[in-house]
Amino acid sequence: QVQLVESGGGLVQAGGSLILSCAASGRTFSSYAMGWFRQAPGKEREFVIAIKWSGGRIYYADSVKSRFTISRDNAKNTVLLQMNSLKPEDAAVYYCAAGSVWPLKETYEIDYWGQGTQVTVSS
């Protein structure tokens, strides 16, 4: 059993930046991929970005390339989502995710989900 807890959501002006954090507990994720999904009202949950927990390889959704990045600290079992140049269409509930499939870009590939944190982007 694994628990993922997101934090750092909030309100940001379009063009601004925000950093989301995901803290994992319950087991070590040294060999797991970690990622972020998001879900806006009326839309399906969609892939945002993922990172191999031990390998450092990053996979991006086209919509966030050049704007978002992801980093990890295995010693602390934490993952960060660094969001820059935010757009109104980035507004959503963001979910931390963990799994053993790379690039972890489909919801059915996820083994564990966080509770989500709201990101609101004003225009």
pLDDT tens, N- to C-terminus, the chain (123 residues) = 789 999 999 999 999 999 999 999 877 666 789 999 999 999 999 999 999 977 679 999 999 999 999 999 888 889 999 999 999 999 999 999 999 888 999 999 999 999 999 999 999
pLDDT at 59: 96
Residues 6 or more apart in contact with residue 25 via CB below 8 angstroms: 2, 3, 5, 77
Tokens of 114: 């966080």
Tokens of 84: 């820059």
Tokens of 119: 């990101």
Locate tokens 């499939």: which residue?
101
pLDDT at 20: 98
